[in-house]
Amino acid sequence: MPAAPDFPPAPDQVPLRRALISVSDKTGLIDAARALAAAGVELVSTGGTRKAIADAGLPVKDISDLTGFPEMMDGRVKTLHPIVHGGLLGVRDAPEHAKAMADHGIGGIDLVYVNLYPFEQTVAAGGDYETCVENIDIGGPAMIRSAAKNHGYVAVCTEIADMDEVLAELAAAGGTTLSLRKRLAARAYARTATYDSSIASWFAHELGDFAPGRFSIGGQLAQTMRYGENPHQEAAFYRFPNAPAGVATATQLQGKALSYNNINDTDAAFQLIAEFDPKAGPAVAIIKHANPCGLATGGTMLEAYQRALACDPTSAFGGIVALNGRLDAATAAQVLEIFTEVVIAPEADDDAIALFKKKKNVRLLLTGGLPDPMTPGKTFKSVFGGFLVQSRDTARLKSATCCSPSRWPST
């Protein structure tokens, strides 16, 4: 294990003189580059990013102007060079580092803005094996990790929101604070960890390896919560990349933020109702404390709701209502007759949405579709010191007796 060098303390304020920008997602790129250039920051970039900045009329150097080497091997090698990583990793106030930088003509890089090749999006779009492999970024994560390690001197951004924070400090003080650089470094390592987790999971799936020797889970923060299952517990909600239709991707039209228990119960309700194919008819589930207190099908969505409610109208109070199809105004009106925490459905009529707007404390979530209960995947359960993994239950329910459950009485 390397011993910790006797470096001088990192400065609180670091001026921005040179920025290295290489992004796949160019949202907000030109505005950020323009703000940096206006502040006198030298811009260095690669490939399509450099072209976009130059086309906007801004001065920008190609990375090859620093390294003396062209991009090669179909762009696989362009930033993997000592000039780049020396400029990122050099501790400016350490005499030996400063001498090495001077001896080898290495200039410091004060800001890195890199977002990664769209590996997750390529997989989600059904890319073939070779295309997915080609969208595994190598130089990007290497630059991000180098910059993050040397956060005493370098600010690292992996999305435009990070750049906004840097630009705000640049406008206010002409540089970045150590506090911000530490926060950015922490986010950067989390981003590369999540990226690598996606790649590892994809490889395991491609190889049919259900239980690889090392297993990681990566998610993006969707929401922090006031508390968890109990008021003394902290809680947050994370979303997987390319999440399918469900609670994680639902649009909340109204109501206060979902709680830990709300999300847990709503997911249980929606996963349950997804077992009922809308083509076979409307179905409604009512969940309370993760347990069904009503589940029914019907000729209409209203009839399905009435039957589900009749199962246990007392327990349904303050519950979660999930529908396997479109929420109409007639059903919405009856749902709103008793207190309900959350209603979740693939879609809703405008008249139904208008009724919910009169009950601002009721959350209405629309998902745009149902999760496919037959889609293979993994589920996770935490235990103290680890977690359990199993394949999703895709078995169809069958009646184990000679008689199936009786139909709802017609009288």
Residue in 95, 188, 92, 173 with CA at minimum distance from that of residue 143: 188
pLDDT for 321 equals: 94
User: Which residue of the set 51, 104, 256, 289 is catalytic?
Assistant: 289
Return the structure tokens found at 176: 């970045």
**149 catalytic residue (yes or no):** yes
| Domain presence at residue 111 | yes
Based on the fold, state whether residues 229 and 139 are members of the same structural domain.
no
**What CATH number did the domain enclosing 248 receive?**
3.40.140.20
**151 catalytic residue (yes or no):** no
User: Which residue of the set 81, 149, 182, 359 is catalytic?
Assistant: 149
Backbone Cα Rg of the chain: 27
Rounded Cα distance between 164 and 28, Å, is 10
Rounded Cα distance between 109 and 13, Å, is 15
- Reduced to 3 states (helix: H, G, I; strand: E, B; else coil), residue 135 is coil
Q: Please give the angle made by the CA atoms of 181, 187 and 191, to the nearest 5 degrees.
A: 140
The amino acid that residue 76 corresponds to is R
| Domain presence at residue 279 | yes
| Domain presence at residue 123 | yes
Rounded Cα distance between 38 and 269, Å, is 53
Q: What is the mean pLDDT of each run of 10 residues along the chain (411 residues)?
A: 72 88 92 93 90 93 81 71 87 85 88 92 90 91 93 94 94 91 95 91 88 83 87 89 82 88 89 87 90 90 93 89 94 92 93 90 90 76 81 70 58 39
pLDDT for 72 equals: 66
Return the structure tokens found at 139: 């130089």
For the whole model, what pTM was predicted? 0.78
Range 265-291 burial, b when 16+ CB lie within 10 A, else e: bbbbbbbbbbbbebeebbbbbbbbeee
Domains in the chain: how many in total?
Answer: 2
Based on the fold, state whether residues 40 and 86 are members of the same structural domain.
yes
For the stretch 258-296, pLDDT in tens is: 888 888 899 888 888 888 888 889 999 999 888 888 899
Based on the fold, state whether residues 154 and 251 are members of the same structural domain.
no
- CA torsion sign for 175, 180, 181, 184 is negative
| Domain presence at residue 291 | yes
Based on the fold, state whether residues 174 and 265 are members of the same structural domain.
no
**What CATH number did the domain enclosing 163 receive?**
3.40.50.1380
| Domain presence at residue 40 | yes
Tokens 């150590």 sit on residue? 178
Rounded Cα distance between 124 and 157, Å, is 24
Based on the fold, state whether residues 44 and 188 are members of the same structural domain.
yes
Based on the fold, state whether residues 232 and 354 are members of the same structural domain.
yes
| Domain presence at residue 34 | yes
pLDDT for 240 equals: 84
Based on the fold, state whether residues 239 and 189 are members of the same structural domain.
no
Based on the fold, state whether residues 66 and 98 are members of the same structural domain.
yes
pLDDT for 22 equals: 92
Query: Contact 324/274 with Cβ under 8 angstroms?
Result: yes
| Domain presence at residue 407 | no
pLDDT for 242 equals: 73
- Reduced to 3 states (helix: H, G, I; strand: E, B; else coil), residue 274 is coil
Tokens 């004060």 sit on residue? 110
Based on the fold, state whether residues 241 and 195 are members of the same structural domain.
no
| Domain presence at residue 259 | yes
Which of the listed residues 180, 207, 234 is the one where a domain comes to its end? Answer: 207
Taking CA atoms, 277 is separated from 67, 265, 280, 393, 396, in Å, by: 59, 21, 5, 16, 12
Based on the fold, state whether residues 72 and 126 are members of the same structural domain.
yes
Which of the listed residues 178, 207, 236 is the one where a domain comes to its end? Answer: 207
Please give the torsion angle defined by the CA atoms of residues 25, 28, 32 and 33, in that order, rounded to the nearest 10 degrees. 60
pLDDT for 5 equals: 75
SS3 content of the chain, % helix, strand, coil (to 5): 35, 20, 40
Which of the listed residues 172, 207, 242 is the one where a domain comes to its end? Answer: 207
pLDDT for 98 equals: 84
Based on the fold, state whether residues 233 and 303 are members of the same structural domain.
yes
Query: Contact 174/39 with Cβ under 8 angstroms?
Result: yes
Based on the fold, state whether residues 164 and 306 are members of the same structural domain.
no
Range of the domain at 156: 13-207
